[in-house]
Structures are given as structure tokens and as C-alpha cells.
A and B are shown apart, each in its own frame.
Chain A
């Protein structure tokens, strides 16, 4: 009788050790690799936008495609801060960089998508100018295998349970409208 119990426990342990443990480690590494490629793609995307000053639906789509290739679904949030120098220009002794005299107004993902959405088939571009800021953050929305396995052992709850995330931002260095 005692032997049977020990054997069952041993089989369960062996199963955990031989299947679940390697699976967890491997899925963790998969997430690491996804994290890596998402981070690289995000940086390249943001740097491309900020050095050309242009965001088109093609650029956005190829970025989304690149991160989706990791097998997860993502939530992409973009933000463009547009510098308005006009308030600073209204004073006589203008100091264009003075904080408070210039304002940044912000365009968020939905506004950016509205601008670059090709209506009637004509491709449209969001042009940014020198001095604006552009940032993008990416988070996975599905639960990856590693997350599922972890949830099996210990429950992680809440809305912000993401394991792959990347963020990049920077100042725009070129005028997008032009040649």
C-alpha cells in the first residue's frame, strides 16, 4: 500500500520535473526572445519615424507585422507631441525654448491612426516636424505559454499582466513634409 502511494507521488513528481519544468523554462526563453525582437522592432520603428519625420500606414503595418511574428498579439500605443512655437513668438523678446511659453499638444494612437488611415485607397502620411516628440509603447495582450504555466502554479491577477513590453521615444530630427 505504502509503496503504491510513493510510486504515484514519484510519477507525479517525475511528470512535473520531466515535462512542466522544462516546458516552463523553454517558454520563459521564448518570451525572452520575443521580448528581444519586440524591443528591437520598436526602437527601429521609432527611430525611423523620428529621423524621417514621417509615419505612414505602410511603416505602421510592417512594424505590427514584425512584432506579430513572435506569435503573440500586442497592444501598440503611439504618442506624438507636437511643438507649438507660436505662443513664444507672440512676445517681443521671444525665447523659443522657454518652458511655458511654448506648448506641446499631444496626438494619441486613435488620432494618429485616423490621420494615416488610407481612405479611398490614397496612402496618407503623418508628417512631424523638427522638435516634436514621438513615442511608442508595446505590450502583449494574449497570455503567453509561460504566463499560462505560471498561472497554473501561482495566480497573477489584474489587468496589467503582460510579460513582453517595449518602449521607445525620442525627439524628431527632420521635417516630414517635404522632400
Chain B
């Protein structure tokens, strides 16, 4: 055979191979590119949903009440779907079409979470009407699930609800007595003193603080610019009461509620003192009554032990907290158990919701499965109020898209985190508590929750005025640009090491005050005999 023929045969073989390979690789490139762009769009839509939730809750006076919160979440869900429609160039498609690809949306809150997913409505036949039928498929928020775990030991049979901070609720029978108690867990040895002279980690807590902030309101519907004034206030259960002349008022959904002069609140706040005193009392009670509870006592709804989930015989509330000195430290045994309870609860309910979705999805034949969330993702979920979205079943060339996105919310009234406290200095700036400039600074004039530095709006229907409760400017080394702020693993120890300074006094006082005065669903502390 001539060498020329060989070349021709070679070309005949190589050309198709190279052509097919080219188109295959091109296809893969397109699939990956599509997947990347879908991930990006999903994150953006989730961020939009979170932003909507954030704006609605910051500007609403009742956002912490559960029915109002559900309304805010539903508004946020709508935002998510319209954002998805816009982003995916499917404008015009309605929520119902897109819902087929979104098996679940999760809103994690302070002491539990909501899952937005389809469910089969069950109502008794006589209650069925024009709006809802028995057995009908509905999309909506499933009932609130608490981060809770049940423990059975001897005559103790309790459900303990955990939260994003060190607050717990104990419900059930403790040593034969029915109990319903809520409180913060703080190492009692760290709190010294009585009455108004309380110190935490050797830092005295300020008693009888005078609190002031700006508030805007309209006196009538024809006013174009709201009156903005600076008033003394007292915050009780998440509501701020302002002192004006001889009477007090509060803001409820843009309306000024004036109270008769017989209703008087206090110009000074002792919430921080109350917080530490109550926490010491509560932690002592928990230690006395539940101190011997271990992870082996945890059971599920069918009384099966959960020891293989939470570990064997690890003390939860005891004096010995492993490598941590105090129960409130992030690495304490209590906190590790708290995080695993939250994680197990979300993982279990979410995988059920997504697996069940196969029965509801009509327009897609994809097999819905919960994706594996990475450790960094869990870290975000376990420490913050967040939105988790899932999107599956869209065809992206070579495969079926299966993605999720997590966006955390750091500006919320839901929870007062250890980094939610901003410090005001007399030069008119506010700082993060860990700003290096604050060390040794004696010009600290106050400390408040970070949402009090967010812009608020007030409207009378025809015009809207924006104002800031605190008009200080963000510091350039810790707020605008965060290079000057350190990120300690344990902020309690970081503050303790700084000793008794203006910064630590302001920080611990504000943390106690903001936590004590926030709205909570179970404020009752009762013990029946």
C-alpha cells in the first residue's frame, strides 16, 4: 500500500473522532456554564428573598409576632419566585409553574424554622368549603418546627427547645414536677454580686441606664414630613415605649399610639442587670434539676434512643463543659449538643420534605433528593437566621440541575448575636465591638443592637419619611471596611481579657439589655407542684 493511502485512511479515522470529541467537550462546557449561571441566579433570587424579609421586618413594629412573621415570610417567598422568573428569563411564568422546580424553601428563625413546601391538606369533610378541600395539594408554610429534643431519665421527661444563642426552654416533667421555664444559660460562677451591683466576668454591669433614640411619626395624614424627635425610651418584649412630656407613646405599624398619663414606664433601664441575675438563677436551677442529663437520654417521638446521633453519655448542662470553662463558651459541650440538635432537626425534616416532593411534582420526572450540604454551609445555618433554597429538575443539557443556596441574615430582630452589638464613641462614629481602636478608648458613650443603626421608614399613606434611630456614622475601620476588627473565636473571653474598661462595661451591658428586652414567644416562667 502506498504511504499516501495510509494518510488518507488515517484522516478518515481521525476526522470523525476529533469532530465528535469537539462537540462532546463543547457540550460539557455548556452544561457546566449553565449550571454555574443557574447557581448564580439561585443565589441572587435567595438574596432578594432575604432582603425582602429583612426590609419588611425592620420596618414593621409587629414583625416578631408569629402571624405577622408568617405574612412577612410569604411576601419573601413571592419575591423569591418573581426574582427566579426574572433571572431565568421566564418572566410571565407564574409562581405555580416555577414551584415544580423548587422542592423546598427553609426559613431558619431564632428557636425553630419554617419549611415552604407542598403538603396534602387534611380537613374534616364538613369543614371543607369553596376555598379548601380535604386531600387537596397545597403549597405553603408547614407549621413551625422548634429546635427541640426530648429527654427521658428516671422521673424526668422533658422537651428542651434550643435557640441560636444560649437561651433554652424546658417543658415537661422534671423530677416528678410539671415545669415550663425559659432562660439563658450562663456560668453562675461568672456572675458575682446582688441587687444593682452585678459583675459578669469581673466587669461591672451598668444599672439604671438612660436610653435615647430618634423616632419619626406623623401627627396627621396631611403632614408631608414626619416629625423626628429624640426621646427616652424603655423596651419591653420587643416594643419600644417613648417618653414625651407627661405621657408615653409607642409606634404600631406607622401609627403613634399615645398612652394616658396614668400609664407610666421608666426612663431608666435595668434590663442588663435582670438578664444576668435571671440567667444565674436559671442556670443554677438547670444544674440542680437537669445537671445529670446526658446525650444518651435523648429520645425520638417513639421513645427510641438517639444516642447514635448525639453520642454516648456526654453531659449537657453539667459543671464539666469539656475543654470550655463556661457553659456559654462556643466550644462548650452544651453548645456542641445544641448545634447537633438544630442540625439533626433541620436535616431530618428537610430530607423528608424533599423526598416527599416526588409525589407532588407534576411537570417534571426528576427524582428529587436532598443535596449534601457542606460543613461551611452548616456553620452558616447554625449561627444565623437564614434562608435556604433548593432548585431541582431543570434540564441543563447533559444532566439535571440540582442546586441549593444559603443566604444568612445578619440584620434581624430575631436574635441578638454576640456580634450584633455596635459601640458608639463620642466622635460621632459607631464601631464593631471587636474594633482594635476601641481598646483603651474612654470616649464610649453607648452600645446598641446593630439594627438600631439601620434606616427606618414611617409613612402616613401619602408620604414617607426615612430616619435613623441613631445618626452616628459607620467607622471606617470596622463597619465600612472591616479590616480593623478582629474576629475572636470566643468574644466573651476576648472581652474578659481586656478587663474592666469602658468598652467591656458597655458591651456586656448592651448584650444583656438587648437580649432581655427582645420579643420572645415563651416568656413565661412557671413551675407547678
B1: interface (CB < 8 Å): no
Identify which of A32, A35, A47 contacts B43 (C-beta below 8 A).
A47
A161: interface (CB < 8 Å): no
Kindly report which residue of chain B lies nearest to residue A116, judged by CB atoms. B483
Identify which of A29, A129, A130 contacts B22 (C-beta below 8 A).
A29
**In whole angstroms, what is the CA distance A51 to B406 when docked?**
8
Chain B residues whose CB sits within 8 angstroms of the CB of A22 once the complex forms = 14, 18
Pair A29/B419 contact, Cβ less than 8 Å: no
Chain A interface category by residue count: 35 or more
Pair A40/B485 contact, Cβ less than 8 Å: no
**In the complex, chain B residues 415-442 whose Cβ is within 8 Å of any chain A Cβ:** 417-419, 432, 434
B156: interface (CB < 8 Å): no
**In the complex, chain A residues 1-30 whose Cβ is within 8 Å of any chain B Cβ:** 7, 10-11, 13-14, 17-18, 21-22, 25, 28-29
Contact with A along B404-419 (1 / 0, CB 8 A): 0111101100000111
- A26 → B minimal CB distance (Å): 8
Chain A residues whose CB sits within 8 angstroms of the CB of B47 once the complex forms = 171, 173
* Number of residues of chain B lying within 8 A (CB) of chain A: 55
- B184 → A minimal CB distance (Å): 17
Identify which of B376, B455, B485 contacts A127 (C-beta below 8 A).
B485
Pair B465/A93 contact, Cβ less than 8 Å: yes
Contact with A along B344-387 (1 / 0, CB 8 A): 00000000000000000000000000000000100010011000
Identify which of B14, B383, B417, B473 contacts A86 (C-beta below 8 A).
B473
Number of A-B residue pairs having CB atoms within 8 Å of each other in the complex: 130
Pair A177/B40 contact, Cβ less than 8 Å: no
Pair B25/A29 contact, Cβ less than 8 Å: yes
**In whole angstroms, what is the CA distance A10 to B474 when docked?**
76
B7: interface (CB < 8 Å): yes
B331: interface (CB < 8 Å): no
Contact with B along A29-41 (1 / 0, CB 8 A): 1001101100110
Kindly report which residue of chain A lies nearest to residue B472, judged by CB atoms. A89
- A45 → B minimal CB distance (Å): 12
Residue positions of A touching B, CB distance < 8 A: 7, 10-11, 13-14, 17-18, 21-22, 25, 28-29, 32-33, 35-36, 39-40, 43, 47-48, 50-52, 82-86, 89-90, 93-96, 115, 125-130, 168, 170-171, 173-179
